[in-house]
Amino acid sequence: MSSAGESEHEERRETVRSAEYGRVPVFDIDGMHVGTETDVVGEVVAVSGQVSMRSETRPRLVEGAFRCVRCYQIEREQQGYGRIREPPFCRGCETKTTPWRKLDGESDWDDHQMIQLQPPPEDMDGDSTTVDGVLEGDLAREGVESGERVTVIARYKPFSPDGKTVHKRLLEVQEVHREDESLIDVEAHHERIDELAAREEVVDLLVASTAPGHIGDEHIKEALLLMLVRGNAPTSSSGKEYRGTVHMLLAGDPGTGKTDFGRAAQRIVPNSGMTSGNGGTSAAGLTAAITKSKFGYSDSEWTISAGALPETTGGVLFVDEIDKAGEGEHDSMLEAMEDGEINLQKAGEKATLKAETAVLAGANPEDGHFRDGETPAAQVDLPSPLLTRFDLIFTPREKTEREDIDEIAEGVTDSRDLAIREDNGGDVPDDLRENVAPPIDGDVLAAYVESASRLSPEYGDGVKRFLRNWYVETKVRLVQEERESGREIPVTPRSLEDLLRLAEASAKLRHDETVRMRDAERATRLKARSFREFGVDSDPVEVEASDDGDLSVSGETPTVALLEIIEEEKLSTAEYGADPEAVLDRAAAEIESCARSELEGMVDDLIDGNEVSETPDGRLVA
């Protein structure tokens, strides 16, 4: 590399260490076309980006063996990229015009794959470009997949398969370094993080610092923070993988600031992006696709392209107007939201792309605004399987009270005033800064969230039982309501998993290694509000706190007491399952508020809700 080029771009270039080439300069994707390419032609460089597309792995002719059809002389010719190169001269015939026959069995071949790199989502803009890379041999067998972030060590070799003087870009990849470390420097803020984590009111401070320009909707900000830190994602000894991602749907009136939360997520968590269901993307654009494509010098071949979900794995994807997307787009999201991966198969090609992406979606009511007298659930055009993938659903409404409108107006004017003063470098009155500036700086907030996301808290005493009881009581009551009203209730066992993830995320947000009752309270409070706002549950189970801070479902409801009796009776006998008559006799004696006929109905509801099963001989198992 020329010294002039090195000095001219010294400030922009970092270096990374290569196993073979030592320190090499790093270019981002856009940095490959800012007038510096002539400085690095033929040189080894490092290029960081995200794999947007990859080809299938196929054999490539490295050195061809050719037999002259006139004199049978065999010549060998080193191959480049593009068309096959035949020997320019036959030493047997001593002529340049001899016809050649390629000898496949005597030629040298190697595995070959192409990848296309693009800037990652947080660096993407309308002018972003791509660059193609060639992987040979062992590198082509490493399984580099679309959606992965990588830094490649490569020799930069422009090429021209059609003989034109203006060449295309090509990277001959020598090494591939997958980027699995955080993009946030947590250590730079560790003292401030420790200070915040020690504060009792840390969650309140975090909420006040999230989307500070959006006035109100603190419960959505609280939920967004849980989404950003996620629940645990363990893998059991049997190989079962548990989802840690938290998904949230904001189904509300237009102009209520749903996009504010998508932008806030992008500012806090790297590798996050935004897309739209209103004609802005397809099923393939959301997930992935196997298609016939041509990129680089290769002919049309099967390629695997990453969509928005795998491109933002580890981050958040905000899907605006998800209700405007089609059935295919909705169906394509189900696997990624549930399992954190996307599996493709077509024409013998298979691919599995990671998509551990938290989905934040915005939707509008069918008529633009919610109709009075109908639940929001009946006015949002989304299929039930997709709705059940969302841990939380909230319905932000247009503010109509004078006090709320005035608060929003004050926030808008003060925020603009503060921005102008800071931009001009002038003094900012303390009261103005206090009214507008968030208590936690943006960089610190991002580092705190990243640090919290690395924790894996375990459950404290009583928490699992409390969450289970809350779910059982809610589900059984809703089963009864469904039977009476005939409406579809999107409450499934996934709702209990939602509670577990939310409680784990709450502990992580507090920087606690233990999931405590306060985390269970936060999880059930948000879940109950979600049910209530969406019109699923008009009378959610209340949570009460005792003087010592322990929490319980109010009144130890009859259904929960009945469930505990079934469990105890099951353990009191040598046979498998509890005797239903013994359960009802004991329940009638212990639950004075319910008649035996009511208790029989509760047992039926538990069975219908899949919270209690029956053995072939009619015994009960909880």
157-199: pLDDT as tens digits: 877 766 677 777 788 899 998 876 667 888 899 999 999 999 9
Scan for tokens 């929001």, then name that residue: 376
Mean pLDDT of 467-484: 75
**How do residues 310-343 score in pLDDT, each as one tens digit?**
989 989 999 998 988 888 888 889 989 998 988 8
pLDDT in the model for residue 499? 94
The helix (H) or strand (E) run that includes residue 350 is strand 349-354
Question: Which residues on neighbouring strands pair with residue 115, listed in sequence order?
Answer: 54, 133
pLDDT given for residue 549 in this prediction: 45
User: What would the CATH number be for the domain defined by 3-54+114-178?
Assistant: 2.40.50.140
- In the prediction, which pLDDT does 489 show? 53
Residue 207 pLDDT greater than 90, yes or no = yes
Q: In this model, does residue 486 exceed pLDDT 60?
A: no
- Supply the pLDDT for residue 70: 92
Q: In this predicted structure, what is the pLDDT of residue 69?
A: 93
Average pLDDT over residues 498-510: 96
Instruction: Spell 481-514 as b/e; 16+ CB within 10 A means b.
Output: beeeeeeebbbbeebbebbbbbbbbbbbbbbbee
Instruction: Tell me the C-alpha distance between 350 and 601, whole Å.
Output: 50
558-621 architecture in CATH? Orthogonal Bundle (1.10)
The structural architecture, per CATH, of the domain 59-108 is: Single Sheet (2.20)
- Per the rule left: phi > 0, alpha: psi between -120 and 50, beta: everything else, 522 is alpha
- Is 288 strand, coil or helix? strand
CA 101 to chain centre: 53
* Amino acid at site 621: V
Structural contact between residues 48 and 175, judged by C-beta atoms closer than 8 angstroms: no
Q: What is the pLDDT of residues 538-564, one digit of tens each?
A: 666 665 545 454 445 544 456 767 777
List Cβ neighbours of 493 (8 Å cut-off, separation of 6 or more).
610
Mean pLDDT, rounded, of the chain: 82
pTM (two decimals): 0.74
DSSP 530-589: HHHHHTS-SSPPPEEE-TTS-EEETT--HHHHHHHHHHHHHHTSSSSSB-HHHHHHHHHH
The CA distance from 602 to 159, in Å, is: 75
- Contact between residue 565 and residue 581 where contact means Cβ atoms under 8 Å apart: no
Enter the CATH code of domain 213-394: 3.40.50.300
